[in-house]
Structure 1
Amino acid sequence: MGYEYSSGARELTIDTVFFAVVNKGKANILLQKAQELGAIGGTILLAEGTTRSRFFNTVRPSQAHKEIVIISAGYELCVGLHEMVFQTFKFYKRRKGIAFSIPFKNWDTVEKKPDPSQKPMDDYFALLTIVERGRGVECVYAARKAGARGGTIVHGHGAGIPKDFFFSLNIEPQKDIVIILSKKDTLQAIKESITESLSLANPGNGILFILPVLRTSGLFENRVAEQRGVRS
């Protein structure tokens, strides 16, 4: 069940939450394009990607800073957003960005029988880990050891993600929020590697939660197929 949001004369049914990770300076342009498609608004967060050293088995923050755009959307708008980042922002090319969308539902109501067309695509999941500031790179390194291709780090300062946006969770200042996408076959291994490496079982060391993903754009695994689709 989606959530209906009204803003003046405009009304939007929120079925999904769309995330796009783009290079710095692109977020405002993407948000403008999204509003042309019908999005009512969005949130922009500053972040940084990570890169793996070719000479040393290490992970470090990349030099290129990133921006994350978060947009509430209905299913039809979400499809349009994925098509827009694919065509306009060329997510089928390397280093252009990635996007994914997660289902949004009212947890206080009884759900209807799920629509088979809205099941998570490609068995992808989003792992979000919140740790002390400075441990984000360590988190990505642990994930890479278990098969992840990379991650995006957001520095928490007590603002950005609205309180109660997903559930009651206060993000205290000086935190790293790490976003990693994983297929189902590597999900458990990545979760265990992060949990063990960062001792998340001990109080105060951080939390990790997993969200299902409905659709992805720009991921390495999809890029070859997407490029073929563009050329055909």
Structure 2
Amino acid sequence: MLSKAQECGATGGTIFLGQGTVQSNKLLDILGLNEAQKEILMIATSEESCSELQDKLSEHFKFSKKNKGIAFSIPFTRWKLKSNEEEKREIHREFNPSHYCIMTIVDKGRSKDCIKAAKAAGARGGTIMHGHGAGVPIDYYFPLIIEPQKDIVMILTPKDNVTAIMDKIIADLELYKEGKGVIFALPVVKISGLIENKGVRV
């Protein structure tokens, strides 16, 4: 996919390995087949070329078909460590996102608890990644360093479900306590391949 993206004008990208969660099925749970290996490709590109690049990749890899994959775009034109409520409302008005990408960083082994809480609040599943720090100063991005033995859970959901899902994760995983984890949501401005009856969720 990265090669195709470069053919379409992308200058490069970063590939992550992840685990997608399959819809609840007792037999799959017993057989240990309730997770699917995934590759996550992140590409930074200009606002002008973003939509065209996503459309070309979606068409080439047939994201409109079941279980072929999902592509979505997140704006980073106004990324700030801290923003007031008026700035947040302005961003929502400008992009008017239909979906959000909820990111949760927790201790390794707690990702399944995170997915369980999210599903209880209406999420259809998520993708789990494993991360570690690389000399990032404390408080540079978040009030928690991404050290070895951390799980990163990515959940894509309609905007109407965001608050309920985040509140449930915060409550069940006690993220209101210091050092328990971090959760935040990013607006999604364009999405391809999200099928309602899909077995594997992002």
| TM band (smaller chain) | 0.7 to 0.9
Q: For the Cα contact (< 8 Å) 1:118–1:214, is it kept in 2? A: no
1:168 matches 2:141? yes
1:126 matches 2:97? no
Return 5+ residue gaps in structure 2 as ranges.
81-86
What TM-score comes out, normalization by structure 1 length?
0.70
Q: For the Cα contact (< 8 Å) 2:18–2:38, is it kept in 1? A: yes
Using the alignment, how far apart are the partners of 1:179 and 1:116 within structure 2?
Answer: 20
- 1:49-198 equivalences under 5 Å are 49-55=20-26, 62-107=34-79, 119-121=95-97, 123-158=98-133, 168-169=141-142, 170-198=145-173
State the percentage of identical aligned residues: 48
Q: How much does 1:203 deviate? A: 1.1
- Kindly tell me: are residues 142 and 117 of structure 1, through their superposed partners in 2, closer, same or farther at Cα, counting changes over 3 Å? closer
Q: For the Cα contact (< 8 Å) 1:48–1:61, is it kept in 2? A: no
Using the alignment, how far apart are the partners of 2:79 and 2:189 within structure 1?
Answer: 18
RMSD of aligned Cα (Å): 3.0
- Kindly tell me: are residues 209 and 117 of structure 1, through their superposed partners in 2, closer, same or farther at Cα, counting changes over 3 Å? closer
Task: Give the AA of the match of 1:76.
Answer: E
1:200 matches 2:175? yes
- Kindly tell me: are residues 44 and 197 of structure 1, through their superposed partners in 2, closer, same or farther at Cα, counting changes over 3 Å? same
Secondary structure of 1:103's partner? Answer: coil
More strand as a share of residues: 1
Q: How much does 1:106 deviate? A: 4.7
User: Partner residue of 2:83?
Assistant: none
- Kindly tell me: are residues 117 and 83 of structure 1, through their superposed partners in 2, closer, same or farther at Cα, counting changes over 3 Å? farther
Q: Deviations over 1:6-38 (max 9, x none)?
A: xxxxxxxxxxxxxxxxxxxxxxxx111111111
Q: How much does 1:149 deviate? A: 1.0
What TM-score comes out, normalization by structure 2 length?
0.79
Counting matched residue pairs gives 184
Q: How much does 1:86 deviate? A: 1.9
Using the alignment, how far apart are the partners of 1:176 and 1:65 within structure 2?
Answer: 15
Return 5+ residue gaps in structure 1 as ranges.
1-29, 224-232
